Amino acid sequence: MTSPIRTERHDDVLVIISDNPPVNALGQAVRQGLKDGVEEAMGDDAIKAVVIRCDGRTFFAGADITEFGKPPQGPNLPETLDAMEAGDKPVVAAIHGTALGGGCEVALACHYRVAVPSAKLGLPEVKLGLIPGAAGTQRLPRVVGVEAALPMVVNGNPIPAAKAEAIGLVDKIVGEDSLEADAIAFAREQIGKPVPRSSEGTAHEDGVKNPDLFDEFRARNARKIRGFDAPDAAVKAVKAATERPYAEGVKKERELFTGLMSGTQSAAMRHYFFAERAANKIDNVDPKTPLIDIQKVGVIGAGTMGGGIAMNFLSAGIPVTILEMKQDALDRGTGVIAKNYERTAKKGRMKPEQVEQAMGLLNPTLDYADLADCDLVIEAVYENMDVKKEVFAKLDETVKQGAILASNTSYLNIDEIAQATKRPGYVLGLHFFSPANVMKLLEIVRGAETRDDVLLTSMKLAKKIGKVAVVAGVCDGFIGNRMLSPRQKQANELIMEGAKYWEVDDVLLEFGFPMGPFQMADLAGIDIGWHRDPSKVTTIREALCAAERFGQKNGKGFYDYDEARQRTPSEEVQAIIADFARKEGTEQRDISKDEIRERLLYPMVNEGAMILDEGMAQRASDIDVVWINGYGWPLYTGGPMFWADTVGLDTIVAGLEKHGLPVSEYLRRKAEAGERFN
């Protein structure tokens, strides 16, 4: 098999080139070729300098993640890089695309780094539950200093070439279209000079001057890294660079890396990496199906959802015609969109000119006729089937043939909506999650007659507007909400049976969710959908409303809130619940946190199993993608189905039976066969 690495001589400069699509991952053959190329250069007196570059879309984008978990194959990257750095001939990394992880570490081991303006550099290993494993945590601080290195290693976000140059990670920005020639010229200029070795850099010493730097950084990032192991290990590794000689620091990095690699968090996060990409693939649809060209989008309804949906397209540069029934509702809706953009600009996430451009693409209207030339119309009106059918019948008459008609419904039957039109093939669900301009998840609900080109176009469009899309079948609640129902049911039953509602919330918080169901109810508002009659009390929520406990909005719901919105359990609420239980004749008892966790999470796994069995999700990993992106399931456990695999399906079945909860045949069969979901 030919090596993915070749070398080309340009007089006294040897160019080592990797051609390993799709992202020049540093698999075994690439590492071998890199090692051979470096040895060729170092062993040839006619060669005075070296350039390392990649063909295709990017410089090395990291180790080959598909190799993880398998027996390591030599040569190992760190040794290859050490040999290269130790040489006296200047080695220049010529960077385009994204130099990430091991790719950034290759660049760091080079004596110099040049990059095109559009390039990015980063150490995203923490996003895989790891830390850099080829001395990146030791070389980077020595080149750019600890202040700049910490966020790169601990948060894992890449930085653009210009910023990399500003902090000293890149030595020169070269021409976008003349990378190789400029890199060769730059390399030639270094011939005869002493080579700068990152491992000998001293920029890391600023960390020593401020020993609180690391604790301050941890405190600032506490919320974001709660529950994850890798970020803490990353801080330790960078701290080691300020406390130990280089070789000792590399040993510490290796020890931390190895510990993470063998842990469940990294396995879970690597699973998610591939799961998110697998979700793009639609079974039984030819990926080469010609797409529908989406130049103009229509949104029906300028409420919270409609406005948020519109922003996704506006921010991606796609014009939106947004329709309301009344002028005041339309004005309110467009006003909210403008305010959201102002807030985004204030936070520095958008430039004022970007906001202006986005708002310039918004066309408010009261007239359906203005939607006629839209290529896609998304309905986001009141969740009522009759209303939706009326809207779709009107859209069918008004909007040009061949346009996609989508509903943002969160549970109504897409096939029934499609039947209100003469184009059921062009109808599907695009279920956004509130706030629609923030939440990444999009459930693409495939109707019985939805055409392949409509599906594929929607999937590609989702990526263009920055969403993580998952195909769902037509069932009540699709994938996410359908699995939320059994958890909600158990939460309500648990507090009637005596579980403290704050312990129900704490169990999910400790598991890694951002909040529990009762905190969520207080945040959203207990009185949503309340009939406003305090004398009519048939549920706990109606009792809370009758007691004017509406949630965070008025300082008390399930919890009492202080000015800082810190929550305290309420004796009044506990009494209301106990009173309800008494009236229902439900015996109250102490319930352990283990039982709470099993009764909240195991029924979700069972529901996920039924979703798979019914073909409502294409694959188990899609369910993981839904719950991680739409409901805050902790990434470091891989999602409900991956987590179930780590718990063991037999344990899940036994737990469900212990609590008298239903076990689907599909789940039981898999458990008995010793199978996994993923």
Q: What residues make contact with ligand T1G under the rule CB under 6 A?
A: 22-23, 25, 58, 61-66, 77, 98, 100-102, 105, 124-125, 128, 130, 132-134, 136, 274, 277
Cis peptide before 75 (omega within 30 of 0): yes
DSSP H helices, 43-117, are: 77-86, 102-109
Q: Which of these, 2, 54, 50, 1, lies nearest to 25 by C-alpha position?
A: 54
Burial of 177 (0-12, 13-18, 19+ CB in 10 A): exposed
Location of structure tokens 């579980």: 499
Q: Judged by CB, which is closer to ligand T1G: 125, or 607? A: 125
| C-beta of residue 415 within 8 angstroms of C-beta of residue 472 | no
Other beta carbons within 10 angstroms of residue 443's beta carbon come to 27
User: Residue 125 Cβ, how far from ligand T1G at the closest point, in Å?
Assistant: 5
Q: Judged by CB, which is closer to ligand T1G: 58, or 344? A: 58
User: Residue 120 Cβ, how far from ligand T1G at the closest point, in Å?
Assistant: 8
Q: Judged by CB, which is closer to ligand T1G: 254, or 394? A: 254
- Kindly state the tokens that stand for 90: 């200047």
Can you tell me whether residue 165 is helix, strand or coil?
helix
| C-beta of residue 442 within 8 angstroms of C-beta of residue 406 | no
Alpha-carbon dihedral angle through residues 266, 267, 272, 277, given to the nearest 10 degrees: 110
Confirm whether 105 is a catalytic residue: yes
Q: Judged by CB, which is closer to ligand T1G: 156, or 364? A: 156
User: Residue 147 Cβ, how far from ligand T1G at the closest point, in Å?
Assistant: 21
Confirm whether 276 is a catalytic residue: no
Q: Judged by CB, which is closer to ligand T1G: 257, or 478? A: 257
User: Residue 251 Cβ, how far from ligand T1G at the closest point, in Å?
Assistant: 15
Q: Judged by CB, which is closer to ligand T1G: 273, or 368? A: 273
Length of the chain: 678
Task: Give counts: helices (H), strands (E), the chain.
Answer: 29, 19
Q: Write down the catalytic residue from 8, 85, 105, 200.
A: 105
| C-beta of residue 601 within 8 angstroms of C-beta of residue 488 | no
User: Residue 130 Cβ, how far from ligand T1G at the closest point, in Å?
Assistant: 6
Q: How many Cα atoms occupy the beta-carbon half-sphere of 332 within 13 Å?
A: 12
User: Residue 653 Cβ, how far from ligand T1G at the closest point, in Å?
Assistant: 33
**Angular region, 72: left φ>0, alpha ψ -120 to 50, beta rest:** beta
Other beta carbons within 10 angstroms of residue 436's beta carbon come to 23
Q: Write down the catalytic residue from 125, 165, 253, 276.
A: 125
Active site residues: 105, 125
